[in-house]
Amino acid sequence: MANEFPQTLTIAGTDSGGGAGVMADLKTMQERNVFGTAVIVAVTAQNTLGVQDFMALPQKLIDEQFASLAADLKVRACKTGMLADAEHVHGVVENLKRYDFGPLTVDPVMIAKGGAALLADDAVETVRNELVPLADVLTPNLPEAERLTSQEITSAVGMEQAAVALQDLGASNVVIKGGHEATPDQASDFVLLADGRSFWLTAPRVDTVRTHGTGDTLSSCITAELAKGADFESAIRVAKDYVTAAIANPIAVGHGHGPLNHWAYRQGGAE
């Protein structure tokens, strides 16, 4: 049906603290006026201080969530986040090949801000070989780009080279996020589009520890925009503006790496 409301899907882990993972994704999707659905791959016991525990769900239950969605909804764009281990990465890939959920944004989540591993070490190869080639948009942060390319990134040129290497692995559009970069005044991300065009997206770096879920927020906003029919460049540009506003207008929640203000963009940025 042509006039179905835009529906999106996040395939990821939960965050009991509400700031990252599926929770950040659904809040972002809601704010961007699309209908959000979720396939839960793992459940974390988590707050702004860290990840206390997590468990991945049985693959059969994950397969059933995909089947439930495919049987009823019309998902126009989807994303992946925390996938836990190689077996689950592979299981998700199988489902992504089985069903058409529109353009896929892959956020190759590996380590949480607090330092906890959300992806088993030996799963990086499965992400590289099986998931990255399916990505219409790939959004690694710097440590993730380093792991996927097996190259150290120490400069802007290094980020540009990593984006090319990731396209060579099969990702169509690549966004290398510079949130972890040591630059004091700018948060700069490098974008390499499928057609070879490239550009930098730069925003003032906010001096804050409230950056829990920044990557999830960026990738789910890209997904929301794609579901509404945006082209890749516009979707990525809107997402950068959205996450910048969400970081720049903090809310006080928790005692550690606090969550973002997902309302900020709607409110024009300012409180």
Ligand X SMILES: Cc1ncc(COP(=O)(O)O)c(N)n1
Instruction: Report what 179 binds from ligand ADP, ligand X, none; CB cut-off 5-8 Å by kind.
Output: ligand ADP
Give the dihedral of Cα atoms 230, 231, 234, 238; nearest 10 deg. Answer: 40
Interaction of residue 80 with ligand ADP, rule CB under 6 A: no
Tokens of 223: 């997904």
Interaction of residue 180 with ligand ADP, rule CB under 6 A: yes
Cβ proximity to ligand X: between 7 and 139 the closer is 139
User: Please, what is the angle between helix 214-227 and helix 232-248, to 10°?
Assistant: 140
Residue nearest to ligand X (CB): 21
> Rounded to an integer, what distance in angstroms lies between the CA atom of residue 134 and that of residue 169?
10
- Chain positions 205 to 244 lying near ligand X, rule: CB under 6 A, are 212-216
Of the candidate residues 73, 117, 134, 203, the single one contacting ligand ADP (CB under 6 A) = 203
Interaction of residue 90 with ligand ADP, rule CB under 6 A: no
Backbone angles phi, psi at 47, to 5 degrees: -140, -165
Q: Residue 117 in contact with residue 85, Cβ under 8 Å?
A: no
Interaction of residue 247 with ligand ADP, rule CB under 6 A: yes
Interaction of residue 178 with ligand X, rule CB under 6 A: no
Sequence-separated (6 or more) residues with CB below 8 Å from residue 212: 17, 19, 20, 48, 113, 254, 256, 257, 258, 259, 260
Instruction: Report what 13 binds from ligand ADP, ligand X, none; CB cut-off 5-8 Å by kind.
Output: ligand X
Q: Which residues contact ligand X (rule: CB under 6 A)?
A: 12-15, 20-21, 44, 46, 81-82, 109, 112-113, 118, 212-216
Q: Which residues contact ligand ADP (rule: CB under 6 A)?
A: 141, 177-180, 187, 189, 203, 205-206, 208, 211, 214-215, 218, 240, 243-244, 247
